[in-house]
Chain A
Amino acid sequence: MDSPKWSVAALVVWLIATAAIPSPAHAIIPPGTAIPVRTITGTVFDERGKGVAGAVISVVGGTVRTSTDGVGRFRLENAPDGDVTLRITAIGFGPKTQAVTAATSDVRIDLSPSAINLEELVVTGTAVAAQKREIGNSVATINATEFQDFAPARDLTNLLNGKAAGVSIVPGTGTVGGGPRITIRGQGSLSLSDQPLLYVDGVRVNNDVASGPKSQGYDSGIISRLNDFSPEDIESIQVIRGPAAATLYGTEAASGVIQIITKRGNPGKTKYEFNVRGGLQQFQNAHERIEPNYYLDDNGQLAFQDLYADQEARGIPPFRTGHIRSLSGSISGGARQLNYMLSSTYDHDDGVDRRNELSRYTIRANLGIAPSDKFDANASLGFVRGRTDLANDIGFGFLFNSVLGFPLLKDGPTRGFLAFTPEVAELYEAWQTVNRFTGSIQLNHRPASWFSHRLIMGLDQTQEQNFDYLPNDTRWLDFLPPQQAAGAKASASNAVTYVTADYGATATANLGKEMKLATSIGGQIYSRQTQVIQANGEQFPAPLVSDLSATAITFGSDNFVKNTTVGTYLQEQLSWKDRRFLTAAVRVDNNSAFGSDIQLVAYPKVSASWVVSDENFWGIDWIDQFRLRGAFGESGKQPEVFSAIQSYQAVTIGGGKPGVSPEFLGNPDLKPERGQELELGFEASLFKSRLGIDATWYNKKTKDAILSRVLAPSLGFPGNQFVNIGALQNKGFELGLRFSAINTENTHLDFGLNWARNDNKVLDLGELGSTIVVPSNMDTPSIVLHHQVGLPAGSWFGRKVISADLDADGIAQNVLCDAGSPSGKPSGQGISCDEAPDVFLGRSDPRDIGSFMATLTIFKSLTLYGLVDFRLDVYHGDNDRVIRCGIFATCLDYYHPRSATEAAEFQSGLNVTSYAVQPASFAKLREISAAWQVPASWTRAIGASAASITLSGRNLFTWSDWTSLDPETFWVTNQFDKSNQTFTPQLAQFVTSIKLTF
């Protein structure tokens, strides 16, 4: 109901603006004058001789432009007659100008790769995309099409991982359907979501990292909405890293913005593309990685139970080999006035857990019309329908019940598994079906050479249906009481709707011969609505009955949440000779979650860019291009929707009567967090584009940091209260290197390095003192997460044994713990453990992240690719170790401790458990692939214009000291609590892809 009102307002603004602008009839050329024109056709090739898709070809000094199709062909109509100069730009390549004589109509253009493509267009939030050279901050661009060609990713998570410096992609689990937690430039908030905003073709969309059913009683929803978008449909991804760059996105954008740009049709012959993919995935070395459960037998001798082997001996392999199947096709093409792209993808992936699988259909239709040079409209429509069946990894499945197996139970019905035997546990099901529509219409109007404006209207509607089903089955009776064995079912309908209305206008004016001023204004409305309707039922009357209505006890609930942001911005950009740029902007926002005393919040921004190498005085031959840039800006992060108001919850009280009970204390003074960032950097291309450097230093401070303060229970209101208190800092640098080691006609060897270091530090916690305890899922009371002034947010703390002796029976004596220091860090001084303070054990977020990639192309047709990514100086909580070594005494280390101090902690009865926090640094061979471009003569035989075959592997080797299954896994729903418990590790994948283009 609200959006149309704004739409009308935007339309009025648009009409007023356009009314004041000369119509096309005011063009310089008198009406009726014939202009001699011609058509230029040609092909754009990369350094490997492969056609470059999406390259933009324009006539220097003219207005006509076109772009290449999927095999690099283009057709430029209405080009001026006579000799012309073409300008060609493409993502990943240096710009090129090429003269075309009047006598030439079919041209070949060869592009050279460039690590710093300053002409590349990036989305900044204004009406028109800006060239990289204009903006004062770093924007990472991932050329998805190119990566998909030689290292096909099965989902967006894999596509993003390791491709942009400073962007941490941490998968919570290796199960099919699971998604990552994304962190850009460190943890920027103490309590609010750190997830970046996600846009698809200019429309804000649902970015929930964990949307699934509350499986197995755990908050383990791991189905990521991020992976609803097929990598096959994506042209490129732009990552806007921090407040300095995201100011125009306003409230909510402090954690960064990810812009997904989907493929569009290119003018020219209709292109048909088919892609078939098949492969498998495995839990590598599963038996070796799952340690047996040790115990002392009746004779006091160390014995063990190997549940993995036991299960195999029963003829039931604990894990299966999962299959990966994908089929996609697209049709694209068009002319200057019309372009289209229709695509569809079907995916079916099996996890290694027999319950875990995903099947999904996606359909995308992108249509663009350009009835004149002054107006074009683009529609982008995407639909996904899918079903994900969750793995039973942390509650019912083999992993949970074997890793945490308990030999005391070996003679009982569980045979030593913790709660259930795997074959019975597999009766349990949890799954999600989803129907999602994402659509946008973008109207671009360029009524004059100096003015353009655009309107984007969009909708992202996700309809999830989450199920949690325990069937009525007598086999449960060995493990569950009769009422529970009679079964239960929960069904939750979750409708999430995002609405975007975004208007922007940009006007430019020349200030003399060399200076140009661009003024941009705009306004946006973003609305998110969530409607959850839940029904639960317990006790089916008989087996094989699965409808919820058949249960004996039923109950339900519904919940509606709405949040709206309304904002506007004004930006001025001054440029001199297209090489020096100064930008200043301010954005003003209001949000329905702000406290009642907060009305408007303003975020300023200023940035500068200087392409020094374009200056006349530049004389350094070996540096081809060099740009200095700097930006300062702010953006925000809104509070949680209901955090400003004091509220009671409606409850049922004794006798079934309605009542109310205190729920949230609220905070009417709550205002958004402010992310404030200074960013300085440079880009350089050296040695004839052999070496590209992109370096950025940043200092990001979060002010008015919102903290979810645990309330003293004595206040009467349970739970937490959001307060603006304290400050947080993320300071670091990002380095991107591209090195072309060999660049001959037949052989190319390129290396790439992304490395980011981030030092996170809590600066201030206001009246709350120097330390705040952060809730965690650790199974030991002596390990806690702290926000502590002077240390990284969410640091692990706990008592730590530093010296002990073992007596003849192996019992720890003379145990001393670290006495700590005022900073919270260990001092090395001993003190009785009863008096010892919690000391800093490590940071939960990595200090260094990065990736190293290498690409070798030989004979212009075979490309070998590898990517290793790494995370360093990070510590995770290992609940498996706590339970196995500290509670059940089933780990080998318990009986053969590596040191006396470790033994002392194992024997402390969870009083001292620093062993629960382990280094989770790792390097992983994430991707390797071999892609072969089939010779043209072969492809012609089948009528195709291009064909390729790719063999790829993922997650093949991990270097790490981590003590449990995988250093990457953790509860993805938690921002700071990087603790794990029997999650499925990242699976090794092997995939073959065949791509045909007609």
Chain B
Amino acid sequence: MYQRFVNGSGLRIAARLGLAMAAGAATGCVNDLLEFDPGDRVESGTLQGPESAELLVSSAVGDFECAFIQYIVTTSQVTDEMDNSNLSSTEAFQLDRRSVNKERTHYALFPCGTHEGLLTPIQTARFDADQILTSLEGWTDEEVNPSNPGRRTELIATAAAYAGYSYLLLGEGFCSATVDAGPELTQAEVLALAEERFTRAIAAAEAAGDETIRNLALVGRARARLDLGRGADAVADAQLVPEGFEHLAQTSGASARAYNSVYQYNGVGTLITVGPAYVGLTFAGVPDPRVQVEVPGGAGSDNLTPLRLQKKYTSLDQPIRLASYTEAQLIIAEVNGGSAAVDIINALHDAAGLPHFTSSDPAAILTQVIEERSREFFLESQHFYDVKRLDLPLNPAAGTPYLKGGNYGDMRCFPLPDVERDNNPNA
């Protein structure tokens, strides 16, 4: 019978059968079999419409908060705020001894919820905020929220403010940076982008009547302008910040990604320990309540570095201050100096129950302002760039032997990592 197949029409029938099977594999019931199941992933296509605006803005805020806390954990180990007290990663040693080189990948690629990540969380937050900002500016009020036409402008203000803060951390943390796989930018250029986003945020917040976001952006812009060396412009913004203003980065104990990681890694995991310079701080013999450190005895998880616990954050869901009237005031104090600065310092001392500071020496006043910044903003993201901006002495000094091998370096900003240069044709 197959002879007939081969010799005659059978071959055609076989060919048809084969083709039918191939067609069947390509279409029909086969399509059901090949249906894609996204599992726990959210396809980006489902998030592209204006109905996702609220979710994407709150997510951008969430990604920034995640990056912000990560920034504190990672940069505090480079400064004398925190020491590394674990043995799990040699890159962590490099952080601690201020000698991270550009070949390293942890600071470049590690995500939130680690004790070494930095660049990726910041870039993700920046990308998120810029993306939704662009989308919001392309949508109409009606599309975003038909029942609340002003909502779109509020969302624009929020997205722009958090974009500004993302650029701010990028500018402060890295010696140079790139954006969207673009060319390498200097710190000043990145900080200028932060300023620009804050300006957009302020304009949108004022249009929407959103005081919180306006003040948040004002403090942010003041910080960016201070970083850029434009003190007068910074003071102009800082003076607009109302007394009592404070904006917090939220955390959550429900997920490691949203933890207050300072508490997690110091109070729970003991992977990092407070630097000795912050133990027992006083002013005129009075303990400073702004930097409370407990020394329980024993060592961190490396069984080597003495354990010192910060008491500023005492739970996984404790929020962290992002911007405040206090920050604005200390910017004014730093720039203006003089009696105005002394008054600001003493207002802070009054709030902390410390004796007053008295001096008319500009240098002494500036030194005290810097000291106030280090205490007020202990573990709040400010100190790393302060060390660079104000050329503060490194502690311990460069060249000092490091307990776990090698010597301390003089790193004051993170290098643009090779992983960015190698994968960004424009960098």
Contact = CB atoms under 8 A, between A and B. Distances in A.
Interface of A: 2, 5-6, 9, 13, 20-22, 217, 406, 408-409, 412-414, 418-419, 448, 450-451, 479-481, 483-484, 507-511, 517, 519, 521, 523, 525, 527, 553, 555, 557-562, 564, 566-568, 570, 588-592, 599-600, 642, 645-657, 659-664, 666, 709-719, 771-773, 775, 779-782, 784, 882-883, 886-889, 909-911
20 contacts: A479-B303, A481-B307, A483-B267, A509-B5, A555-B254, A564-B33, A566-B30, A568-B21, A648-B47, A651-B62, A656-B254, A662-B127, A712-B178, A713-B123, A718-B109, A772-B422, A773-B419, A773-B422, A780-B90, A782-B103
Given A567-B25, A651-B255, A781-B104, 7 more contacts: A600-B22, A650-B42, A653-B250, A712-B424, A713-B120, A714-B420, A781-B90
B351 interface: no
Interface residues of B, number: 101
B108 A715 contact: no
Nearest to A418: B87
B39 A599 contact: no
Contacts of B302: 419
B269 A781 contact: no
Nearest to B63: A661
Nearest to A660: B59
A654 B62 contact: yes
A951 B66 CA distance: 61
Interface stretch (B148-156, B195-203, B367-375, B404-412): B404-412
A509 B3 contact: yes
B59 A663 contact: no
Interface stretch (B179-187, B220-228, B330-338): B179-187
Contacts of A886: 405
A647 B43 contact: yes
Given A419-B87, A650-B40, A714-B420, A657 B103 contact: no
Interface centre among B17, B99, B119, B307 (most CB of A within 10 A): B17
A9 B55 contact: no
A483 B90 contact: no
Contacts of B24: 9, 523, 568
B9 interface: no
A414 B40 CA distance: 42
A832 B41 CA distance: 49
Contact of A642 (B41, B268, B424): B41
Contact of B40 (A451, A560, A714): A560
B39 A656 contact: no
Nearest to B317: A656
B200 to A, nearest CB: 19
B314 interface: no
B254 A716 contact: no
B14 A519 contact: yes
B212 interface: no
Given A649-B42, A910-B90, A659 B269 contact: no
B115 to A, nearest CB: 13
Contacts of A782: 103
The 3 closest A-B pairs by CB, nearest first: A716-B127, A653-B62, A654-B250
Interface string B183-194: 000000000000
Given A517-B6, A712-B181, A714-B178, A2 B1 contact: no
A723 to B, nearest CB: 11
Interface in B303-336: 303-304, 307, 317, 319
Contacts of B111: 718
A920 to B, nearest CB: 22
Nearest to B69: A654
A709 B270 CA distance: 34
A782 B418 CA distance: 12
Contacts of A712: 178, 181, 419-420, 423-424, 427
Contacts of A481: 267-270, 301, 307
A773 B101 CA distance: 16
Interface in B287-312: 299, 301-304, 307
Contacts of B268: 481, 483-484
A969 B317 CA distance: 42
Nearest to B122: A713
B36 A22 contact: no
A642 B33 contact: no
B33 A525 contact: yes
Contact of A451 (B2, B301, B303, B304): B2
Contacts of B407: 909
B124 A718 contact: yes
B285 interface: no
B278 to A, nearest CB: 19
Contacts of A780: 90
B391 interface: no
B22 A652 contact: no
A562 B37 CA distance: 7
Nearest to B130: A716
B55 A909 contact: no
Contacts of B405: 886-889, 909
